[in-house]
Structure 1
Amino acid sequence: MNYGYTELLQLFGSLGLFLFGMMVMSDALMKLAGDKMRSILATMTSNRFFGILTGFFITSVIQSSSATTLMVVSFANASLLTLTESISVIMGANIGTTITAWLITILGFKVSMSAIALPLVGFGFAFTFAKKESIKNWGVFIIGFAVLFIGLQFLKDAVPNINDNPEMLEFLTRYTDLGFWSVLIFLFIGTLLTVIIQSSSATMALTLIMTAEGWIPFELAAAMVLGENIGTTITANIAAIVANFHAKRTARAHLLFNIIGVVWVLLLFYPFLKMVSWIAQWTGSDSPYLSAAAIPVAISLFHTIFNISNTLLLVWFVNPIARLVERLVPKREMPKKEIDEPKFLEKRVLKYPETLIISLEKESKFLFKNAIFEIVAHSLNIHRADIKSDEKIKKILKRSTEDMHTDVHELYHTKVKKIYGEIIRYASLAQSNFKLTEAQNRHISEIKLANRKMVEILRNMRELAPNVALYLDSENEYVRKEYNKLRKKIAKVLRIIYHFRKEKDKDIYHQKLMKLRDEAREEIHNMSDSIERLIREGLITVDMGSSLVNDRDNVNDTIKKLITIADLLYGEQDPLFENHK
């Protein structure tokens, strides 16, 4: 045998290059389309067919079923997706992942990419010098795409040739001549390889190369593909270990769905393969039983037909699968919430003022965009994903009337108090232990001010949240309408702030925020005639009117403070301090 350690290392290196190309390509696509993909996921309906299309579309775009399933698990963990919605998205993701196999088959075997791969790297690299972030990401995507096929070419060259190494064929025959036991053995091999490599695409590439080189016949390659479908579920199950029962159920559903598919295909294994062979020949390919060169196309076809058939079969059993998973992973009462700890503030940042200031800024931004954003949105009975979406706020408010039972006092103690205290402590240490420049000192003062405003906002929300829950459930349409106006005002500000901190062109959103801040200031000092009219005409009670007046002032004060925080933490220019009093 002429295949030694050097060749084995080349094989591992080739696989690493392939995986790196896949990772770079997938990451670039996630940056290009990730926000939109998540928005689609977060706002999807419970329609199972739409869920399948969503899963297929997202996986086809970002070229990673693992990334899609991890997103689904994360959304399930946050209760943005129900279990039935999650199952349907995963079904679509399984179909979407077959696109990768076809890319490898067509471009890796039918077309030689090696001649244009390196020029593509150079072409993509030129894009990375662009100022526009999206163009840079396209450049990275092109590089990843090219590196993937360079890795595939190296992988094909690194796999030992059976003709030059007949001993390997002799070794393999021990496992390929055991009838249906061979099928089960290679199914296990496919599962194990995918679990180890953590990429069904890489395992698929190895399978396709092994068939093209004549290592294994068509039926054993198909068995490996079935194993890959089970192995690919491990990523989501690992991610769900530390998640809540919603995420665990989603991950188990993924595993169960793929296992059921593998079981029924195994029961019809040989007839199913003959059908795939017939379709392959009908489309103009040779029989995979007679030609090793025809197997990659047949395997890709098998992969696609299996996932589509499995989805079409099990889509009618989404609810029974969900009920079974609910039994396997019972609902557990949430344990007592742990107090959130700072993410960026630690002793080592105290060494230099620069590292301390940047850590204070990061911690404050993290607190604002997560805990504060969540508490304010949930106090209005609105999901954060809805505020971040492009859906009209009026429509969101119309369907977001269910009480989210937001306990602002508890959330302050579990999500804010500890972090807020540490920010103030570290800021005080910076101002007392270091000889700061005027600009540094001012910047720390702005950070402290922003955090103080966050706490003040929560005081407003603690008074507002109970009334929002109470009056949105009221039979009085006039008071409901008035509280929806208040909800709309804050939701509008939150959405603009979201874009203000996300978009590079901040001027447009900054102007909008300044206009809303001025309007809020004027309203704080002016009594609303509309509320007095509603009381006079007996359309609302005096108690309702009193609550409305107080809550309107709280809302306007909250809007003013939210904009102040956004201006302090994300504004490009130093804000005027007299505007923050």
Structure 2
Amino acid sequence: MASFGFFEIVSLLGGLALFLYGMNLLGGGLEKLSGGRMEKILESLTNNVLKSVAFGALITAAVQSSSATTVIVVGLVNAGILKLRQAIGVIMGANIGTTITAHILRLSDISSDNFFVNLLKPSSLAPMAALIGILLMLVCKKASQKDWGQILIGFGILFTGMFKMEESVSGLQNLPQFSEAFATLSNPILGVLVGALVTGIIQSSAASIGILQALSSTGVITFAAAFPIIMGQNIGTCVTPMLASIGANKNAKRTAMVHFYFNLIGTVVFLIATYAIQYTVGFPFWDSPIDRGGIANFHTIFNVTVTLLFIPFTGVLEKLACATVRDKNGEEAPAAGALLDERFMVSPGMALNQARNTVVQMAKLARDNFAECRTLFHKYDPKLVERIRENENLIDKMEDMLSHYLLKLAEHELTEPESRLISELLQLESEFERIGDYSINMQESAQELYERGLRFSDTALAELDTICDAVQEIIEISLDATESRDLRKTIDIEPLEETIDLMQETLKARHIERLRQGLCSVDAAFPFVDTLANLERISDHCSNVGIYLLGHEGDKRGLDRHEYVRRIHRGETEHYNEKFAFYEQKYYTRIKEQPAT
């Protein structure tokens, strides 16, 4: 008599481990290959529910996990990037996208004497895919080719795990206890609970569907037993986003609740409809054994039907979630650094995109602080100083959070371009933070003048305004180049920086001459010279920003940043010479035309 003992259990668990690892490799390779592009689509979603559903299905099919997609959506809502209504469509689409895995696994049911058809059977295709994948990983140099290798290896391991699970449970078909156990699961409530429990434990509906497909090879599982289990699996997959919403804001919690209500109500409605048809009309296949294809088909029919049913009622789901998670004080504003949500780390491409957006936020705060600090030399305003200080504290806080986030992200498996981008972002955040610091130094110089009852002369103020205009422009160019990744903007930074250096040297010499002639007080002279030094240092940090951007974007286009910098300082690039002449005319000429005294 057949038995199912210790070694069969170990074999089953080992097969499950391979299956989950293969799925992880497959989804990770697809995510790397996308370069974060698919995740960025989520940020541009409109209130068009159908478009949101389609994008949710596409992204989930790529990462092979509805839980991962939903966790990302919870993070986007928590960061204020997506609204709750937009997230609902993505969640619906995620349930459709996750059915792709089951259809991949049904390929094992292919049966034919044709050589080429047999070649497509997973038992033949899986080892070949793994072999090709490992060759790509070992031989190829390009990151994209290695990503394809990871995808193929994941595909091979996934099916190897599937075959191992099937082999370990093959003896169960002759065990009467096993048949009796699944007969009890024909009870819809019990079947739904078992499906939800198993999926909640392994936190993957695709994996639990795979287990069910493996068990179906025994021929013991009927349609009557499988249907409620599959419905329950959709409820169990809600566990991951519910856990991910812990500690998030109220809208993020509501997003997780939308996912739960969508699957729970959908299961109840579909369960009632299915059993109503069975008890009135009857399904001829109800007590027949189900195979992998039948499981995949029902999984898809269930999710597509429930999604189509709920599309007109997205507003109802939203109100239900809001009623569950109440907000007495209105909608919460995203906190500083909310973009740096660790939920995004399930997709390094998404996490890096949010980190880059945080650098841009820091740059904008630094730009705004500089613009406000320069006005203090004309009219000192304590309330404005308070706002400047708050922004500076925010910049410092964001730098600390971003550094911690990027270093933690670096521990994940990343592509070579992603690793380079982490290094670049760590450098850029430091440069913009220093720009903020030097703006604060300017504010302190203005405060010193104010407290001593001093002010710069009209000539000095006019000179200061001119060089501040140039520095304001170089900060704007650096910010635009960081945000757009446009090399054409990046190469405009260096000629303007050289112009600012020339202006700083000239103005410093002029001011020393005024001091020597007694046209300027000593007490006011030092703040002026210090301010010039801070302006020159700000332009230096903008130059560093340009060089770092050239290092990342330029490397992809075959541009050697070190050689480029050497050439422009030797005056060997036509663009540099043209832009330097342009900025010299725009700013330096204004200084020369102003009276020296």
Normalised-by-shorter TM-score class: 0.5 to 0.7
Structure 2 residue 205 is matched with structure 1 residue 205: no
Which of 151, 160, 165 is matched with 1:141 structurally?
151
- 2:286 maps to 289
Structure 2 residue 131 is matched with structure 1 residue 122: yes
Amino acid in structure 2 at the alignment position of 1:135: Q
TM-score (norm 2): 0.63
Task: Name the CA distance, whole Å, in 2 between partners of 1:36 and 1:276.
Answer: 48
Deviations 1:43-98 (A, max 9, x none): 11111111111111111222221221111111111111100100011111111111
Task: Name the CA distance, whole Å, in 2 between partners of 1:256 and 1:195.
Answer: 16
- 1:518 maps to 495
Identical positions, percent: 29
RMSD across aligned positions (CA): 4.5
The aligned runs of 1:96-495 (5 Å cut-off) are 96-107=97-108, 112-128=121-137, 129-173=139-183, 175-176=184-185, 182-271=187-276, 288-289=285-286, 291-292=288-289, 294-331=290-327, 369=356, 371-377=358-364, 409-414=389-394, 416=396, 450=431, 453-456=434-437, 493-494=478-479
Q: CA deviation at 1:162?
A: 3.6
SS in 2 for 1:268: helix
- 1:59 maps to 60
Structure number with greater CO (CA < 8 Å, separation at least 6) is 2
Task: Name the CA distance, whole Å, in 1 between partners of 2:198 and 2:6.
Answer: 20
Structure 2 residue 19 is matched with structure 1 residue 18: yes
Aligned 8 A contact 1:3 1:160 in 2 = no
Task: Name the CA distance, whole Å, in 1 between partners of 2:42 and 2:323.
Answer: 25
Amino acid in structure 2 at the alignment position of 1:515: D
Task: Name the CA distance, whole Å, in 1 between partners of 2:38 and 2:47.
Answer: 17
Structure 2 residue 482 is matched with structure 1 residue 497: yes
Out of 10-19 and 125-134, give the one that drifted further.
125-134
Deviations 1:480-531 (A, max 9, x none): xxxxxx999977644643676xxxxxxx83x7413244247659999xxxxx
- 1:548 maps to none
Compared with structure 1, are the counterparts of its residues 304 and 569 closer, same or farther at alpha carbon in structure 2 (3 Å cutoff)? Answer: closer
Task: Name the CA distance, whole Å, in 2 between partners of 1:252 and 1:448.
Answer: 36
Amino acid in structure 1 at the alignment position of 2:491: M
Compared with structure 1, are the counterparts of its residues 555 and 74 closer, same or farther at alpha carbon in structure 2 (3 Å cutoff)? Answer: farther
| Runs of at least 5 residues in structure 1 that lack an aligned partner in the other structure | 279-286, 344-364, 382-405, 424-445, 463-485, 501-507, 527-553
Amino acid in structure 2 at the alignment position of 1:299: I
Aligned 8 A contact 2:399 2:429 in 1 = no
Amino acid in structure 1 at the alignment position of 2:178: M
Task: Name the CA distance, whole Å, in 2 between partners of 1:336 and 1:92.
Answer: 26
Amino acid in structure 1 at the alignment position of 2:323: R
Q: CA deviation at 1:216?
A: 2.5
Aligned residues: 439
Task: Name the CA distance, whole Å, in 1 between partners of 2:96 and 2:242.
Answer: 19
Q: CA deviation at 1:203?
A: 0.4
Amino acid in structure 2 at the alignment position of 1:132: K
Deviations 1:5-50 (A, max 9, x none): 1110110000000000000111111111151112100111111111
Q: Which has the larger radius of gyration?
A: 2
Task: Name the CA distance, whole Å, in 1 between partners of 2:181 and 2:292.
Answer: 23
Aligned 8 A contact 2:480 2:489 in 1 = no
Aligned 8 A contact 1:376 1:458 in 2 = no
SS in 2 for 1:79: coil
Amino acid in structure 1 at the alignment position of 2:128: P
| Runs of at least 5 residues in structure 2 that lack an aligned partner in the other structure | 112-119, 342-351, 369-385, 404-426, 444-470, 504-533, 552-560, 570-597
Task: Name the CA distance, whole Å, in 2 between partners of 1:75 and 1:422.
Answer: 17
Amino acid in structure 1 at the alignment position of 2:228: A
Q: CA deviation at 1:419?
A: 5.8
Aligned 8 A contact 2:23 2:155 in 1 = yes
Task: Name the CA distance, whole Å, in 1 between partners of 2:479 and 2:33.
Answer: 24
Deviations 1:346-372 (A, max 9, x none): xxxxxxxxxxxxxxxxxxx99994654
Deviations 1:212-243 (A, max 9, x none): 31333212211111111011111111111022
Task: Name the CA distance, whole Å, in 1 between partners of 2:535 and 2:100.
Answer: 50
Task: Name the CA distance, whole Å, in 2 between partners of 1:94 and 1:183.
Answer: 21
Amino acid in structure 1 at the alignment position of 2:127: L
Task: Name the CA distance, whole Å, in 2 between partners of 1:564 and 1:72.
Answer: 35
Q: CA deviation at 1:461?
A: 13
Compared with structure 1, are the counterparts of its residues 457 and 118 closer, same or farther at alpha carbon in structure 2 (3 Å cutoff)? Answer: farther
Task: Name the CA distance, whole Å, in 2 between partners of 1:27 and 1:524.
Answer: 48
Aligned 8 A contact 1:493 1:559 in 2 = no
TM-score (norm 1): 0.65
Out of 264-273 and 296-305, give the one that drifted further.
264-273
Amino acid in structure 1 at the alignment position of 2:392: Y
Task: Name the CA distance, whole Å, in 1 between partners of 2:401 and 2:321.
Answer: 42
Aligned 8 A contact 2:205 2:237 in 1 = yes
